[in-house]
Structure 1
Amino acid sequence: MLDTIKQKLLELEADKDIRILYACESGSRAWGFPSPDSDYDVRFIYARPVDDYLKINEIRDVIDLPVNEVLDIGGWDIRKVLKLFLKSNGALYEWLQSPIVYRDDHGFAEELRQLMPKYFSLRACGNHYLAMALNTLHNDLQGEQLKLKRYFYALRSALACKWIIERQTVPPMEFNLLRVLVDDLKFQQAVDGLLEIKQVSNEKTLVGPNAVLSDWLKTTLDNCKETIGTVASNHQQTDELDAIFRKYILQ
């Protein structure tokens, strides 16, 4: 599959007249809880020829390939990426930390990684993860039969919010790095039990409610709602990002 993904990226560069600056895995395979039939969620950042940025009409800043059962490939234009970086977009900050990287041969991603501590807004991204976790809890984790993967979506988002509040830093992307925040043995045993099921089950697998994890989610998210407003927000100027933009569209 690695060869297929790399070939698709090369074809995209030729077909769309773009230069891919960075490409990585963004879904459950990168988070650390894939199922045997999990697809590959490939995300990339690209730059167009400089003349494309000097037109009166705005150019489209997203490229998506048709999704199939195996591959989900999509990318964002560098200008869109830098605007989202300034806003502490949670998905983008995760891409830059992905443990599975398909292309990273221009130095662009590393330049942004170096700036993450300066530009990251604890409050903005904390609210992002809090909203994701609450939405999943209220809409997907109610009833007698629940999608197993939704438990992990809620847990990962809740842990990321908890990390932001307690550690005051950019949360890691990987689930196993986030779960170290919790020292409750019953919680860890419950998580391990669901991970064992997920490793041998398909994406549609249903499970019954887990009281330990459901209670932990409710308590943790209630605490996050009470405290997220106390963490720092962050507003930076665009000068450094403007310089990066100019550098990579002129290469």
Structure 2
Amino acid sequence: MHREERHPLSDAMRARVVQALDKIEHERNVKVLYACESGSRAWGFASTDSDYDVRFVYVEKPDWFMQVDAPRDVIERPLDDELDVSGWELSKTLGLLRKSNPTLLEWLDSPLVYRQETEAAAQLRALAEAFYSPPAARNHYLSMARKTFRGHLQGETVRFKKYFYVLRPLLAVRWIDLGLGRPPMTFADLLSTVNDAQLLDEVATLLTLKRNAGEAAYGPRRPALHAFIQAELEREVPVLPRTREDSQRLDRYLRDTVKRFA
């Protein structure tokens, strides 16, 4: 099955997103290099009432860089009904890529791409692979899982969606620890690191509940999932390879891309 077929998107919603991106380009005089779906719809566990989280990378005109005070490098649009749109300027994006920012790496792996300049996006993905740091990614995902678990899954009644906001980063940690490379964005792919049939059944049951019940739905805590989560949070940290790359590659990409789309 093609990746996008697992994350269906209506033609009407795709057209609405493209229209929003066109409006941003026109109003801000920028070029959108890449735009994708992030969040639960791209992860593969959206509810019927989940928002559409559109994220993009854009290029400013050369004059934007000729300012003493650093200009704002983020474009955000207020949540409009179910559409949440925001993006990062390219030099900001590359600075985060140099730090192996997992959020950015997930954007580049999204199964739902709304727009991309094919060559520029391919080069950006290649840079993401080159600068990928397993220790940085592991720390990010483990911290995310621990914070959500402590903050949202301690009661006898818990919000269904919060389980997935803990399970997904923990499975990303497992993926990293197994030496499988950059963790994929989709929950189904990450779940391939689990071979416990009972646990998989528990996750499948919860996934069905979450998809059908809505984002705000609550239910009783699930002991089997809690036991798995606690065990994963307590696992020893393995020795992971560190990456060293030449930042001049990022500078060249920035210069070439700004010149091309100015």
| TM-score normalised per structure 2 | 0.92
Q: Determine the C-alpha separation between the residues in 1 that align with 2:84 and 2:188.
A: 24
Q: Determine the C-alpha separation between the residues in 2 that align with 1:35 and 1:92.
A: 23
Instruction: Give how far 1:106 is off.
Output: 4.5
SS in 1 for 2:79: coil
8 Å contact kept, 1:136–1:150: yes
The amino acid of 1:75's aligned partner reads G
The amino acid of 1:44's aligned partner reads F
Q: Determine the C-alpha separation between the residues in 1 that align with 2:57 and 2:170.
A: 27
Pick aligned residue for 1:90 from 102, 106, 115 = 102
Instruction: Give how far 1:134 is off.
Output: 0.4
Q: For structure 1, which runs of at least 5 residues remain unmatched after alignment?
A: none
SS in 2 for 1:88: coil
1:247 counterpart residue number: 256
Pick aligned residue for 1:160 from 144, 162, 172 = 172
Map 1:51-200 to 2 at 5 A. 51-200=63-212
Out of 161-170 and 76-85, give the one that drifted further.
161-170
The amino acid of 1:221's aligned partner reads L
SS in 2 for 1:143: coil
Instruction: Give how far 1:207 is off.
Output: 1.5
Q: Determine the C-alpha separation between the residues in 1 that align with 2:76 and 2:129.
A: 30
SS in 2 for 1:237: coil
Q: Determine the C-alpha separation between the residues in 1 that align with 2:193 and 2:111.
A: 20
Q: For structure 2, which runs of at least 5 residues remain unmatched after alignment?
A: 1-12
2:44 counterpart residue number: 32
Out of 6-15 and 56-65, give the one that drifted further.
56-65
8 Å contact kept, 1:122–1:168: no
2:237 counterpart residue number: 227
The amino acid of 1:244's aligned partner reads Y
The amino acid of 1:208's aligned partner reads P
SS in 1 for 2:80: coil
Q: Determine the C-alpha separation between the residues in 2 that align with 1:109 and 1:140.
A: 36
Pick aligned residue for 2:61 from 49, 56, 60 = 49
- Count matched residues: 248
| CA deviations over 1:50-105 (Å, ceiling 9, x no partner) | 11112222111001001134011000000000000000001000000000000012
Q: Determine the C-alpha separation between the residues in 2 that align with 1:175 and 1:134.
A: 18
- Pairwise CA RMSD: 1.1
Q: Determine the C-alpha separation between the residues in 2 that align with 1:56 and 1:106.
A: 33
User: Deviation above 6 Å: which 4+ runs of structure 1?
Assistant: none
Instruction: Give how far 1:183 is off.
Output: 0.1
| TM-score normalised per structure 1 | 0.96
| CA deviations over 1:15-73 (Å, ceiling 9, x no partner) | 01110000000010000000000010000000010111122221110010011340110
1:202 counterpart residue number: 214
Percent same amino acid among aligned pairs? 39
1:237 counterpart residue number: 246
Residue 10 of structure 2 corresponds to residue 10 of structure 1: no
SS in 1 for 2:85: strand
